[in-house]
Structure formats: structure tokens, C-alpha cells
Amino acid sequence: MRSRGVTIVVHVDGDLDSRQYRVPQWAFEAGRWGAVAIALLVVLFFAFAEPLTHAAARVPGLEREVARLRQENGRVQQLAAALNRAEANYQELRQLLGVRSPPAGRVTTPSPDLMRAVAVRARQPATTSRYGVGPSRPDHWPLDVPGFVTRGQVRPGDPAESHPGIDIAVPAGSAVRAAGGGTVETAGTDPDYGLFVLLRHPDGYETMYGHASRLLVHDGDSVQAGQVIALSGNSGRSTAPHLHFEIRREGRALDPLTMVKQEN
């Protein structure tokens, strides 16, 4: 039995004879599916060629960006090395001067409300200092700039109204001076007082300075009366820049206005 096939007749215009080509059925099917596959390959090529071409066009720009980033990274590493050297020199200088490093975990960075420090008044040469030397009772006003007492001491009665010290409104960054000579009991941070300094004086006296923007002393430091121990601010539970100032004796709060007066 003769196998099935496909006959292709070719007739050229003007020619009397025709040519016939007989193609087996399997060859015709194979050719047809081959054409379909080629068409699919062509479609896929054009579908992926544009993204590939676009990506290839971006390669030079990406290479330039990588080179730029490497150059900037080199500069950053040079700056980091310079900062490390400066820090090492700074630590060596601190050791030569005998300055102690702050204890681990101490809050020493200024709060966001820190403003430029106001000018600190200096006394005339050869004039006598109003502050004594060594440990002393807290009997000096803790500020140089004029301040306004916005809230006085409130004796414990209603816990919500209790206020053991006085609030003195002053610009943020004002120098806060020790009211007397003594030792730093605590210099740190508190949810209510914010950044604060607690000084211990002779005869059971203590003074508290709260809501500071920067602390300038550390636990255990010996301070003289009039020494700048902090800069005022608005840290902790506070609605405006001011200094919270307390005087205690044997753990009992005293009215600071009975012991210190604002000095002009």
C-alpha cells in the first residue's frame, strides 16, 4: 500500500509543463511544526531583546556609579581614620591633664532644646571672690543671669501639688553654679528631673539642680562653691526652659529662698 503524502505542483507562467514534488506526510508535518517553532522563537527573541538591550545600555552608567561610590567610600574611610587619630590624641591629652572619662552609660549628650549658652560674667582682676574654698553650706544663688521664680516650694499635703524646691525661669544654656562646695552624689537623668546634679554638702545639706541641658560634672567629683556644674535646659517633665533648685538637710526639703538670695 502506497504511503500517504503531499504533492506540490509548481507551474511557471508561460511554460506548458508543470513540475510536481511529492513530500511524505511525516516530512510535511515536521516542516509545518518546525515553522511554528521558528515563529515562536522569533517572537520570544523580540520580546526579550528590548529589555536585554536596555539593561546592556545601562551597564556603562552603572560602572561609573560604582566607581564614584568606591571613591567616596575611600574618602569616608580616610575621614574615619582621621577621626580615630583625633580621638586617640584627645584621650592622650585627657590622660596627660588627669581628666577622668565619664562612667559607662552616662548621658552626656545635650538635649534637643539646648540653645547657645549665655555669656558668663567674669569678675574684675584682683577682686575678691564671693565664693569660699572647700566644702561649704549651700548659701549662694545658683545662677549668674537674672531669673524669675515661676513656682515656689509647696509643702507636702496634696501629693499632686507637692513641690520640694523652686523653679527659676532662665534661658536654656545658662550656667548653673554650685550653691556651695561639696561632692557630686549623682549626676544623671531622671524621668521627672531630666538631666540633674545632686550635690552633698557638710552638715547634712544637699542641693538638687534639675532640667539641665548638659551636665559638666560626674559622680564623685569634688566641686567648689560657684563652680559651673551644668547648663540649664528643658529636659524631663518640663514645659519651658528653667532650673529646678532644691535644698535638703538630713533628707528634709527646705525652702531655698530662706537660705539663698538672687545676687546682682
Question: What is the separation, in whole angstroms, between the first and last Cα of the chain?
Answer: 131
pLDDT for residue 136: 92
DSSP E strands: which ranges in 113-226? Answer: 148-151, 166-169, 175-177, 182-190, 194-200, 205-215, 222-223
Which CATH superfamily groups domain 148-258?
Glucose Permease (Domain IIA) (2.70.70.10)
pTM exceeding 0.85: no
Identify whether the C-beta of residue 174 lies closer than 8 Å to the C-beta of residue 113: no
pLDDT for residue 49: 75
pLDDT for residue 16: 75
pLDDT for residue 189: 94
- Which residues, including other chains, have CB under 8 Å from residue 130's CB and lie 6 or more apart? 140, 226, 263
Show the DSSP H helices in 98-208 as ranges: none
pLDDT for residue 107: 45
Alpha-carbon distance values, 135 to 93, 95, 131, 221 (Å): 29, 26, 11, 12
Alpha-carbon distance values, 184 to 46, 174, 180, 196, 206 (Å): 79, 20, 11, 11, 10
- Which residues, including other chains, have CB under 8 Å from residue 254's CB and lie 6 or more apart? 247, 248
Identify whether the C-beta of residue 214 lies closer than 8 Å to the C-beta of residue 230: yes
The letter for the amino acid at 165 is G
Taking CB atoms within 8 Å and a gap of at least 24, the contacts of 62-70 are: none
Reported as half-sphere exposure (CB side, CA atoms, 13 A), residue 85 has a value of 6
| Segments of the chain with pLDDT less than 50 | 102-119
Nine-digit cell at 35? 515553522
Reported as half-sphere exposure (CB side, CA atoms, 13 A), residue 53 has a value of 6
Q: Please tell me whether residue 21 adopts helix, strand or coil conformation.
A: strand
Residue 244 has a CB neighbour count (10 Å cut-off) of 24
pLDDT for residue 104: 45
